[in-house]
Amino acid sequence: MSFLVWNCRGLAQPRAVRFLKEIIQQLRPNLVFLSETLVKKEKIEKICKDIGFADYCAVDAQGHGGGLALFWKTEGGVTVRDVCHNYIDFEVVNEQIGRWRYTGYYGFPERGRRRESWNMLEDLAGKSSLPWCIIGDFNYIVSRDEKQGGRVQPRWLMEGFSDASDRCELSDLGFIGDKFTWEKSRGSSSWVQERLDRGMATQAWKDLFPQAEVRVVDVTTSDHLSLYLYLNRRIFMPKVRRFRFENMWIKENECFNIVKDCWNGREGADIMSKLLLCCAKLEEWGGGMVQEIRAKLNMCRVKMRKLRSRRDGQGLNEYNDVRWEYLGLLEKQEVFWKQRAKQFRLKEGDANSRFFHKFASVRKKK
């Protein structure tokens, strides 16, 4: 079982939803918790269907801020226990392992409400004696090493959060990946980076899942990086691709040139011969484009990971160029999956989802 957690900073933009689908397809989490969705429940319900999850729990945004969403699949026995504007608390039941507890958390961003957050954390700790893991955007740092740039964090704020965690018997799960999970004003003189997102758990939960790890997903469309908590490592087998004409080729100028050359290059040939030649040339040119897009997506992630910490002008420009390339590749990948869902089953504006993936897979097996 695995858990994806992300402060998405708004799901109204197609770019954020597209990234969410891409990261779900890549990591295949069983649970997804989103904070700062900035939308109403109706939007969350549609997203739940689009990403292929069985059920959801949502908290509406307040004005121009807030909003929480939890998605889960049928397996796992998820039961939501408590909900408010700062967290969704739920239990998970597994026949082999038993019962344990998760909390998707979003701490108050206002400094004047820090004590409210600490009290809320202690209230959550007293609600159940089950093995407990809490993960999300806490909006705190526990040491000055977790911040770069900006004003120095007051010591009483860091110590206050540490003391509250100790009283709740919570300890940090650590992480693999980028040191900072949030940033502001990238490239300017006021560029700030902090580790605001983290996972914490009781010793009973750690004993239940001794191999659990938190990985920082290094690419995002938000100012927050996402966290991926996985209890056991998973291995995915590559799928075999079958060639067909790809609608995403139309976005490439080279496709038009190939068709034009094949059609005009053989005078006197019949239509069928020209079509066969055109098919062969397109297959030779674009047969590996799907794998190429996947490779480029991975390459973009690697480049963005390396460029995130650079603060010079050239590094900032390179980061922005790679980020826009990444978003363009996501759009092409969505066109690829739309085609496999068959056009008559696809309304204008519908997006890449688990339903369309499954439908395409069934057709492929036939």
pLDDT in tens, the chain (366 residues): 899 999 998 888 888 888 898 899 888 999 999 999 999 888 999 999 888 898 999 999 888 888 999 999 865 589 999 999 999 999 998 877 889 999 999 999 888 888 898 899 999 999 999 999 999 999 988 888 999 998 888 888 888 889 999 999 999 999 998 889 999 988 888 899 999 999 999 999 999 999 999 999 887 788 899 999 998 754 343 444 455 677 777 777 888 888 888 888 777 778 888 888 888 888 777 766 777 888 888 888 888 888 888 888 888 888 888 888 888 888 877 777 776 665 445 443 445 566 666 667 776 677
pLDDT of 254 reads 83
List strand residue ranges (DSSP E) for the chain, in order. Answer: 2-7, 31-35, 55-59, 68-72, 78-83, 87-94, 98-106, 132-137, 147-148, 171-172, 182-184, 192-194, 197-201, 213-217, 226-230
pLDDT of 201 reads 96
Domain termination site, one of 211, 230, 249: 230
Tally of domains in the chain: 2
Residue 323 located in a structural domain: yes
The tokens 């009283």 sit on which residue? 167
Domain termination site, one of 208, 230, 252: 230
Question: 160-177: buried (b, 16+ CB within 10 Å) or exposed (e) per residue?
Answer: bbeebbeebebeebebee
Q: Model-level pTM greater than 0.75? A: no
Residue 261 located in a structural domain: no
Residue 202 located in a structural domain: yes
Distance between CA atoms of 23 and 4, rounded to whole angstroms?
9
In terms of domains, do 67 and 183 share one? yes
Domain termination site, one of 230, 263, 298: 230
In terms of domains, do 200 and 124 share one? yes
Residue 223 located in a structural domain: yes
pLDDT of 280 reads 83
In terms of domains, do 51 and 190 share one? yes
Residue 85 located in a structural domain: yes
Residue 50 located in a structural domain: yes
Distance between CA atoms of 32 and 215, rounded to whole angstroms?
14
In terms of domains, do 35 and 155 share one? yes
In terms of domains, do 293 and 220 share one? no
- Asked if residue 198 lies in contact with residue 138, where contact means CB atoms within 8 angstroms, the answer is yes
Residue 352 located in a structural domain: yes
pLDDT of 90 reads 94
pLDDT of 218 reads 80
In terms of domains, do 122 and 25 share one? yes
In terms of domains, do 344 and 223 share one? no
In terms of domains, do 62 and 151 share one? yes
In terms of domains, do 100 and 219 share one? yes
* Cα of 354 vs its chain's centroid, Å: 15
The token pair at 326 is 């990444």
Q: Looking at residue 144, what DSSP letter applies?
A: G
Domain extent at residue 115: 2-230
The token pair at 333 is 């990948």
In terms of domains, do 318 and 209 share one? no
In terms of domains, do 32 and 180 share one? yes
Residue 273 located in a structural domain: no
In terms of domains, do 67 and 191 share one? yes
CATH number of the CATH domain containing 75: 3.60.10.10
